Structure 1
């Protein structure tokens, strides 16, 4: 696994890969398939390290997997923060900013002959659907794999209501507490994350580092503001877009997901009978990267491998 901060659209961006590094391009032999993972919110690639490792294990050796972090969701090292063309200290990155950031990444780093497999988690699924509106990107896409996709009516979901009515109202206080937390020794931070994160969210030792990245006050503030923007912007499902590309979509809903209720999947299939959409029968959580990353990675990797076999 390789990772680094890359400048993209004026922002130092955390990128993590399994297989060839971003700036190495694709293998000169074998297929030109490339898997890009767009995370949910928070868009911190380290949360996805186990997932992409598991996913990569099911693919041909020459097929790389890249995870692109969201703009502003990982604080760059201090020696990178003040580069003249760096916009990493911007206080807010809207949903549209994040979309433009992903478009810029693909156009800057993805070879023109690459055959793209786009994997989106949560709001990353919304970003992927929007990417299909770009003709240059759409023609490179072989298939999109949307996991627990928040692509419609987010504010109307149980989790959306809780976020709006409680979490976002307390966001300023939570960021202030994160600022106090930042003065604690790293060892104490890790212990507290393990105790409280494990109890409330299933955080394990492997997730302590990305949780510490999330609790950087500027990052946490941007995460909350992006979530607030999602509640406003992600409303009606884009049925015209889905109709145009439904043969390229594989959609996976949770069985008990407070962000993507089962009726959203049922309604999607009623409107688009031929779409490949299903409800999880294996008990995977929306935040699968905390507890089920290996199993979900193998599942998605197998589906991508099958798709590659059918599209040589």
Structure 2
């Protein structure tokens, strides 16, 4: 369980001024009541799961749809890319946006309970290509402005989607972003060494699968008392049913190996600078994946970009607790709300 401990997943924040959503011919109108958009006026709506085919690959989706969306939020998970982890977050965000936005979480290929791809492993680049193809397949007829939200390595994937589909993306928010290697992190060094060894990866995946094969009450007890002491029942269930699978762990490790290779390249500061009005990042205080050194570097090189620091102690794996899910949903809502309230007209 060591690898899982290392990897898994209103307040005092430092927020830069926000520019406005501008999409000609589109109106965005959110209900704002009691300081939170529409939360008191609308009943909660449960997110639902759906399976779709993207370039021949079975893709798990978690979504909640608005009848008349003024905005569509596409969420890209971290690693592991299990959509179930984000159910509390998605439902909170939908409520906070007053039911005016449709929200879709698109899972990573083969990060699921069932081995849809028959043991095949997928790299970071393949996962990026998969999300771009999903955009082209599922979002081509979407008229509402599209907001990308990425978590951890999902933030990097979101940046790549923005790079390849700039005309489709209105705004992009990175949560606890993993954008570059952190040479000062011992945890990253351990995971890098583990993921680089096919023998260790196979052995670790086999051990994890053994845990997953235990009676459910035993596996839940182990997860709840090792990883999930403060986790929500939903996060514990997602870990036991989806993560404790041989193919899921192998894909998680293989993707991690390719992350370390791809993120070893120098950051594309010109791209971030050129898209600074369309990008925002939320960093954590003690997060080795998105350390405050990266926050300071971005702040220094691109002072106009929107940055914030979460100081409530929700950690990198915010989606594994109900409180973390709600807080991050409120933060995203505040970014959208500020853009609307700072505008002289409804767009």
Q: TM-score range by the shorter chain?
A: 0.7 to 0.9
Residue 166 of structure 1: how far off its partner (Å) = 5.1
Partner SS state of residue 138, structure 1: coil
For the structure 1 residues 112 and 290, does the alpha-carbon distance in structure 2 shift closer, same or farther, using more than 3 Å as the test?
Answer: closer
Distance 2:314 2:222 in 1: 26
Which residue number in structure 2 is paired with residue 53 of structure 1?
A: 91
Deviations 1:136-193 (A, max 9, x none): x311222111111111125654431131245765433221112322332223222222
Please state if 1:217 is matched with 2:246.
yes
Please state if 1:304 is matched with 2:336.
yes
The correspondence of residues 263-302 of structure 1 with structure 2, limited to 5 A, is: 263-291=293-321, 292-302=324-334
Distance 2:183 2:205 in 1: 22
Distance 2:123 2:108 in 1: 10
8 Å Cα contact 2:195-2:256 kept in structure 1? no
8 Å Cα contact 1:164-1:228 kept in structure 2? yes
The correspondence of residues 143-154 of structure 1 with structure 2, limited to 5 A, is: 143-154=171-182
Residue 297 of structure 1: how far off its partner (Å) = 1.3
Count of residues in Structure 1 that have an aligned counterpart in Structure 2: 291
CA RMSD in angstroms, aligned pairs only: 2.1
TM-score (normalised: structure 2): 0.78
8 Å Cα contact 1:73-1:222 kept in structure 2? yes
The correspondence of residues 46-125 of structure 1 with structure 2, limited to 5 A, is: 46-76=84-114, 81=116, 88-110=117-139, 111-125=141-155
Residue 286 of structure 1: how far off its partner (Å) = 0.7
Partner SS state of residue 35, structure 1: strand
Q: Which runs of 5+ in 1 are unaligned?
A: 21-26, 82-87
The correspondence of residues 33-48 of structure 1 with structure 2, limited to 5 A, is: 33-48=71-86
Residue 209 of structure 1: how far off its partner (Å) = 2.1
Higher alpha-carbon deviation: 147-156 or 67-76:
147-156
Which residue number in structure 2 is paired with residue 85 of structure 1?
A: none
Residue 307 of structure 1: how far off its partner (Å) = 3.3
Distance 1:258 1:46 in 2: 24
Return the structure number with greater helix share.
1
Distance 1:8 1:251 in 2: 28
Which residue number in structure 1 is paired with residue 188 of structure 2?
A: 160
For the structure 1 residues 30 and 225, does the alpha-carbon distance in structure 2 shift closer, same or farther, using more than 3 Å as the test?
Answer: closer
Distance 1:222 1:155 in 2: 24
Partner SS state of residue 194, structure 1: helix
Which residue number in structure 2 is paired with residue 197 of structure 1?
A: 227
Q: Which runs of 5+ in 2 are unaligned?
A: 1-46
TM-score (normalised: structure 1): 0.86
Partner SS state of residue 57, structure 1: helix
Q: Of the candidates 53, 60, 65, which is equivalent to residue 19 of structure 1?
A: 65
Which residue number in structure 2 is paired with residue 142 of structure 1?
A: 170
Distance 1:52 1:308 in 2: 21
Distance 2:183 2:201 in 1: 17
For the structure 1 residues 270 and 47, does the alpha-carbon distance in structure 2 shift closer, same or farther, using more than 3 Å as the test?
Answer: same
Distance 2:138 2:177 in 1: 25
Partner SS state of residue 259, structure 1: coil
Which residue number in structure 2 is paired with residue 84 of structure 1?
A: none
For the structure 1 residues 30 and 174, does the alpha-carbon distance in structure 2 shift closer, same or farther, using more than 3 Å as the test?
Answer: closer
Deviations 1:186-214 (A, max 9, x none): 23222222222235xx4332212210201
Partner SS state of residue 101, structure 2: coil
